[in-house]
Amino acid sequence: MNYRLARNVELVERTGGIFLLSKVPLCALRLNRSLADLVGRGAGGAIIEPSGSEVRVMEQLASKGFAERLPGKQQPPAALPDISIVIPVKDRADELKRCLASIAGLSYPQEKLQVIVVDDGSSDDSAQVARQFGALLVTSGGTGRGPAAARNVGAARAGGEILAFIDSDCSASKEWLNELIPAFNNPAMAAIGGQVDGMCSASIVDRYESVMSSLSLGAHERVGSSGSDTFYLPSCNLLVRRSAFRSAGGFKDGMHVGEDVDLTWRLRDMGWTISYLPAGNVLHEHRSTIRSFMSRRFDYGTSEGMLQVLHPARRKQMVIPPVLAIVLLLCLAAPFGGPWLLLPAFVLLMVDALAGRLRFFRRQLPIGLLSVLGGRLRALGSLIYYVSYHLVRYYALPLILIALLVPGLWSWALPVAALLCAAGVDHAVRKPPLSFFRFCGIYLLEHISYGAGVFWGCLRRRCFSSYRVVLLRQMEQSV
């Protein structure tokens, strides 16, 4: 894996030390001499080719946004790893046919592919479709055992060095494997997740899912190794080293939702690295009716209780700088306590910006007051969004019930403001092919369903740790 410095990042050397300076988001990272020499190879946009011992450091810089990963060199066909593609299916003959047709059209050398279809007790022609495409057909050992158990059965019959999991209602792009496999050049990499996009656009739900599906992780790379954050990879587009998969014990057979979260967290706990790449595209046929959409979101929510029992050390994290938190509270209190509260909020924000400017000045870094103030305002905006999103995600239904029971319009202020803020930012950033009114309606239904599922799953497990959030003063920047 090769790297280069991220956009808006430059290496700055002053008498106070050597720094990596990022303009957006505004932050600086002090480097020692050996790390500065490594990063210095990327001056002027040059590619950094780290040695084996340097990869870990570059990965940390990339995970913090100071560096960008570049695709590894494509291996010659003879050197490419053998891959076993595992597809669980139950009563989806037409979807399976489409999926297998896409796999037959992959640009990856077909002689290096083993296609395994695991029939989970289908009553339609799924088994016949698998045979028609020459796939190895195996049974899950029952009926309706679930995708996790079916994938494990398929993985046990796999001979490839890499296991590639895709769902029967998905269709792979021609370059699916070619774009993801080079990431395994990093020996610490256990699993790679690729981009998942919506297949259909006929219904409102389809168009919403095209940008808001929980299976789609966005347009930016992400990496997870050690740590207690909740980053994971969805199993509908997931490549895993067979050795790592087996050492982790595979998926948990009894889990029907959240099994991919559990597996990728266990891999990370074992010291492996996982990565999401916005490449290796797979199209997914999402549930297109409001009822099925809400039902699935409810099911996803129920997994949080089980996952918290299995992984008690993992917690949701939210960065809340104390000064910005006070500024936000003063602004929220202004409608009730009077507009004069906005004055101390403004003064506090300016003092915070001046303190930041002073820190940069002492290090002789070329950052002006307006840039620092702009950075603090962006941080305040991010704080407002994440707090609003968390309220809508986990507390939408109780907030609505309270507003219905408490007389007066002010009881609606918090739920409405949180919804408009969270949905407004997501609508502006994701740019769905929907009007804001329709987007906001489905957005609310999604979070009500998911939040209800979280509560039900926690109630069943008698574990409500999922509602606890780790509050951080700032993001850790050391490497």
Q: Using CA atoms, how far apart are residues 177 and 280, in angstroms rounded to an integer?
A: 6
Q: Which residues contact 304 (CB under 8 A, 6 or more apart)?
A: 258, 453, 454, 457, 458, 466
- Pick from 67, 219, 233: which is nearest to 164 by CA? 233
Q: Is the pLDDT of residue 10 over 80?
A: yes
Contact between 302 and 215 (Cβ < 8 Å): no
pLDDT in tens, 98-113: 999 999 999 999 999 9
Q: Using CA atoms, how far apart are residues 432 and 451, in angstroms rounded to an integer?
A: 23
Q: What is the pLDDT of residue 283?
A: 96
Q: What is the pLDDT of residue 73?
A: 64
- Pick from 78, 236, 215, 267: which is nearest to 172 by CA? 236
Q: What is the pLDDT of residue 72?
A: 61
Q: Is the pLDDT of residue 477 over 60?
A: no
Q: What is the pLDDT of residue 282?
A: 97
Q: What is the pLDDT of residue 478?
A: 43
Starting at the edge strand found earlier in the chain, the sheet holding 282-284 runs 170-172, 282-284, 196-198
Q: Using CA atoms, how far apart are residues 87 and 118, in angstroms rounded to an integer?
A: 6
- Pick from 25, 20, 26: which is nearest to 3 by CA? 20
The pLDDT mean for the chain works out to 91
Q: What is the pLDDT of residue 91?
A: 95
Q: Using CA atoms, how far apart are residues 327 and 330, in angstroms rounded to an integer?
A: 5
Q: Is the pLDDT of residue 238 over 80?
A: yes
For residue 337, count other CB atoms closer than 10 A to its CB.
10
Q: What is the mean pLDDT of residues 127-151?
A: 95
SS3 label, residue 320 = coil
Higher pLDDT, 158 or 202: 158
Checking phi first, is residue 30 left (phi over 0); if not, alpha (psi -120 to 50) or beta? beta
Lowest mean pLDDT among 1-15, 139-153, 259-273, 316-330: 1-15
Question: What is the pLDDT confidence band of residue 422, given thresholds at 50, 70 and 90?
Answer: very high
Calculate what percentage of the chain has a pLDDT beyond 70: 97
pLDDT in tens, 295-346: 999 999 999 999 999 999 888 888 899 999 999 999 989 988 889 999 999 9
Q: What is the pLDDT of residue 411?
A: 87
Q: Is the pLDDT of residue 475 over 80?
A: no
Q: What is the mean pLDDT of residues 212-239?
A: 90
Lowest mean pLDDT among 9-23, 247-261, 269-283: 9-23
Q: What is the pLDDT of residue 408?
A: 83
- Pick from 282, 205, 273: which is nearest to 236 by CA? 282
Q: Using CA atoms, how far apart are residues 178 and 249, in angstroms rounded to an integer?
A: 27
Q: What is the mean pLDDT of residues 171-191?
A: 93
Contact between 391 and 419 (Cβ < 8 Å): no
DSSP sequence for 262-322: HHHHHHHHTT-EEEE-S-S-EEE----SHHHHHHHHHHHHHHHHHHHHH-TT--EEEE--H
Structure tokens at 169: 């209602």
Q: Using CA atoms, how far apart are residues 344 and 271, in angstroms rounded to an integer?
A: 47
Higher pLDDT, 52 or 228: 228
Q: Is the pLDDT of residue 479 over 60?
A: no
Longest dimension (CA), the chain: 74
Q: What is the mean pLDDT of residues 56-85?
A: 82
Q: What is the mean pLDDT of residues 391-399?
A: 95
